[in-house]
Structures are given as structure tokens and as C-alpha cells.
Amino acid sequence: MRYLLCLLFCLLAGVAQAAAAGKAYMSIIIDDLGQNSERDSRTLALPGPVTMAIMPDTPHASDFARQAHKAGKTVILHMPMDPANGPYAWHPGTPIEELAKRLDAALAKVPYASGINNHMGSRMTAQREAMAWLMGELQQRHLFFVDSRTSAATVAASQAQAIGLAQVSRDVFLDNVSTPEAITAQLQQGVALARRQGSAVLIGHPYPATLAVLAREIPRLKQQGVELIMLEQMIAERGNQTMPAHRTHRPAPAIAPVSGKE
């Protein structure tokens, strides 16, 4: 208990220090890439260090991963997890040996991946044994993990923290409602959060409205006191710590139930 209180004090002090210093960092991830060349190209054209999360079971996965890497973007594997389906998807009850084969195959389809995040996964990320195995495997491969936090029951980030694996968790979904007005409002929520706690991680999708809003608003972030940074830098800035909004009294990070898209 004393350790947890000390950890909480240090975390809050660090966040307060960052806010007091006027530091406000943001990272943006675009999921579900590799399906459509035109949308992929528009996403790649977004200004700044936007992370490309590429699905392995898409027709352009490998080609787009190479293209994004050549353009200097961070590439991550957008790993399908239950309730997602398909040849790479992870499901509760699947033997670890089969999960390992699917992870190998998915990483082979997305070259230059620096890490992975979960596509859907609301049931899978609650599986402690599988998540513990995954984090150990990623550590051996020198890859990081992004918890998309599609479930209040996720134990993914806590299992990464338990072994010191580089990880970060999503704060804001941009486009659960995919209208320009709603996306703009979510982006401003991310701006406010970055100012308040020192950083914010946002996830969106290659919807036309999302890409249009980001193309317009990313160049304005600096005027609002927010710096867009690479995902790897965000992990370093957060120092593998759990943000206050992601924690409860329980050991595993938790959030309110997510009502939007996974």
C-alpha cells in the first residue's frame, strides 16, 4: 500500500511538473490501414509524425508498411483480437502455440513494425495469461505495445508494465462519431488533456472526415501549445507510467465502458 501511494505521488508530481512547465505532447495513431490505397496515401500525407497502424489481413499491408517506413513514419502492427475474425485473429482459449504462429505471420505481413496495438480485442485483452505471454514475446523482439483500451477489463498495459516492456495507452478515440464536428471536438478534447496532464495519445481511422480534420488541424497544434511527437518519444515521455485517468484502485488499468468503435 505504501509503495502504491508513493508511486501515485510520484506520478502526479511528474504530471504536475510537466503541466507547470507548459509541456503538452500529443501522439496520433491511425488504425485499419492497408485496406485501401487511396485512403492509405491520404493518411501518409498527413503532416507530422502520425503513426501508421496496419492490419495484416489487408491487400496492401506489406507494400504500405514499406512505403510508410520509407516516408519516415512509425509503423505498427494493428493486431486483430477477439471479437475480430480472420486468419491472424486471437481468441480466448486458443493455445499459446497457435497465438504465436498468428503473431509471427502477422508481423511478417507488416515489415518495419516497431510495435503493435490491438484491433478490437475487448475480450482478448482481458485474458491475463495470453497478455502476459504477448508482452514477454514483444520484449524479446524489442517491440513496444499500445493498448487501444477498447475494454474496461483490459490487463494488457499492466502486464507490459509488470515486465518493464515499453508501452503506452490510448486516451481519446477521435472518430467514434465520424462527422467533422464530432472529430474536431474529440481532437480538442485531446488538446485539453495534453495541456492538463502533459500528454495525450489519440487514435483515429482513415475516414474521409477524420483525414480532412487532421490535415486542417495538425498544423494548428503548435499555436495551441501542443507538440505532435512520435509514438516512441511519447513512450519515453510517459516513462511507462499509467496516466491517472487509466487507473483505479485495482492493479490493472481500467476505464469506463467504451461505447464506440473498436
Per-residue model confidence as pLDDT tens digits over 206-247: 999 999 999 999 999 999 999 999 999 999 998 866 555 544
End-to-end alpha carbon distance in the chain: 34
pLDDT at 202 > cutoff 60: yes
pLDDT at 174 > cutoff 70: yes
Cell of 134: 504477448
**What pLDDT sits at residue 137?**
96
Determine the 3-state secondary structure of 5 from DSSP.
helix
Could you tell me the residue range of the domain that residue 140 belongs to? 14-48+119-246
**What pLDDT sits at residue 242?**
58
40 located within any domain: yes
Q: Which amino acid is at 23?
A: K
pLDDT at 9 > cutoff 50: no
Provide the domain count of the chain. 1
C-alpha span between 197 and 19 (Å, rounded): 6
pTM of the entire structure? 0.84
**What pLDDT sits at residue 39?**
98
Crossing angle of the two packed helices 208-217 and 37-44, in degrees rounded to 10 = 10
C-alpha span between 185 and 222 (Å, rounded): 17
Task: Assess contact for 162 and 139: CB atoms under 8 A.
Answer: no
**Residues 6+ away with beta carbon under 8 Å from 147:** 117, 118, 125, 154, 156, 157, 160, 167, 168, 169, 170, 253
Q: How confident is the model at residue 115 (pLDDT cuts 50, 70, 90)?
A: very high
| CA dist list (Å): 97 to 60, 103, 110, 133 | 27, 10, 20, 11
Percent of the chain past pLDDT 90, that is, above it, reads 74
Planar angle of CA 203, 110, 81, nearest 5 degrees: 55
**What pLDDT sits at residue 3?**
33
Q: How confident is the model at residue 21 (pLDDT cuts 50, 70, 90)?
A: low
136 located within any domain: yes
Task: Assess contact for 26 and 200: CB atoms under 8 A.
Answer: yes
* Helices vs strands, H then E, count in the chain: 9, 9
What's the average model confidence in pLDDT over 249-256? 31
pLDDT tens per residue, range 128-149: 999 999 999 999 999 999 999 9
pLDDT tens per residue, range 30-54: 999 999 999 999 999 999 999 999 9
* Average predicted confidence (pLDDT) for the chain: 86
Residue 166, domain CATH: 3.20.20.370
Kindly provide the residue ranges of all beta strands, DSSP E only, lying in 82-147, ordered along the sequence: 113-120, 144-147
226 located within any domain: yes
C-alpha span between 169 and 157 (Å, rounded): 7
pLDDT at 4 > cutoff 90: no
Q: Which residue in 65, 6, 8, 26 sits closest to 241, CA to CA?
A: 8
183 located within any domain: yes
Cell of 191: 488538446
